[in-house]
């Protein structure tokens, strides 16, 4: 894991091959063609291809935990045991479900985790300044913030701190290139994509303002 030069957390993608993310999310490229799938920790290619699109939240957790973090699919297996994901009779995957996820993080990884069902951008700044990291629900098009936000929520990113001028520093598990995988967005640019909910964690390390 290569640490971010801004916050020192690693920059990771939920897909095993970062250079395939753009093709997967915009061109319908089959994740089953990912040659690096074994690096995810998945037991089989089928399991990887079925789950990787659902693991943005656990990729955020993996980045927050840092170099000692388990593999992505080890985290998936642990989260499943706590009910942070569910599958119905048709095999539809639902999650990340915040409350059992937070319980999993606290009990298995010994990291304080708090669910925020109603959260403002100003409150995110306060949490970051207090040294917490925040997994925030945003629209996936936050990877292209220069365009109008088409909606809010449906994807999870990791916020690790604020820059000296107050921008929010984020790590995006489905970033399509280096500039969208780690980025600094002003609160005004971030807000239209933000769904007003998330999970904060006290992972330790440097304070949130940088």
pLDDT the model gives residue 81: 96
**Is the Cβ–Cβ distance between 205 and 8 less than 8 Å?**
yes
Mean pLDDT of the chain: 94
168-171 and 194-202 strand pairing: unpaired
Domain span at 105: 18-202
Evaluate whether residue 169 is within a structural domain.
yes
pLDDT computed for residue 205 by the predictor: 46
DSSP-assigned letters across all residues of 119-174: --HHHHHHHHHTT-EEEEEE-GGGGSTTSPP--S-SEEEEEEEE-TTSPEEEE-TT
Is 7 inside any structural domain?
A: no
Domain for residue 3, yes or no? no
Mean pLDDT, residues 151-165:
96
Residue 142 included in any domain: yes
Is 30 inside a domain boundary?
yes
- Which of 5-19, 114-128, 149-163, 194-208 is predicted least confidently? 194-208
Does 65 have pLDDT greater than 60?
yes
| Within a domain: 37 | yes
Total domains in the fold of the chain: 1
Average pLDDT over residues 27-56: 96
Residue 93 lies in a domain: yes
Token look-up 């943005």 returns 56
So what's the pLDDT on residue 204? 67
- In-domain check, residue 140: yes
pLDDT at residue 210, rounded to an integer? 39
* CATH code of 104's domain: 3.90.70.10
Average pLDDT over residues 75-82: 97
pLDDT at position 207 over 50: no
- Indicate yes or no: pTM above 0.85: yes
- Enter the tokens of residue 127: 């949490």
- pLDDT value of position 186: 97
Res 208: pLDDT: 41
Average pLDDT rounded to a whole number, residues 160-187: 96
pLDDT score of 80 more than 90: yes
């Amino acid at each position: 894991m290569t640490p971010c030069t801004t916050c020192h957390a690693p920059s990771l993608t939920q897909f095993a091959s970062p250079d395939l993310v753009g093709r997967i999310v915009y061109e319908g490229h089959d994740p089953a063609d990912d040659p690096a799938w074994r690096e995810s920790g998945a037991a089989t290619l089928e399991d990887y291809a079925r789950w990787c699109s659902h693991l943005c939240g656990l990729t955020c957790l993996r980045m927050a935990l840092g170099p000692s973090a388990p593999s992505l699919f080890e985290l998936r297996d642990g989260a499943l045991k706590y009910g942070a994901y569910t599958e119905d009779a048709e095999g539809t995957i639902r999650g990340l479900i915040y409350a059992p996820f937070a319980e999993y993080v606290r009990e298995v990884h010994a990291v304080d985790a708090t669910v925020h069902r109603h959260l403002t951008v100003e409150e995110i700044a306060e949490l970051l300044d207090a040294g917490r990291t925040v997994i925030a629900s945003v629209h996936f098009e936050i990877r292209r913030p220069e365009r109008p936000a088409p909606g809010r929520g449906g994807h999870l990113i990791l916020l690790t701190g604020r820059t000296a001028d107050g921008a929010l520093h984020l790590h995006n598990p489905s970033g399509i290139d280096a500039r969208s995988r780690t980025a600094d967005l002003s609160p005004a640019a971030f807000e239209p994509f933000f769904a007003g909910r998330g999970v904060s964690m006290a992972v330790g390390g440097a304070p949130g303002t940088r």
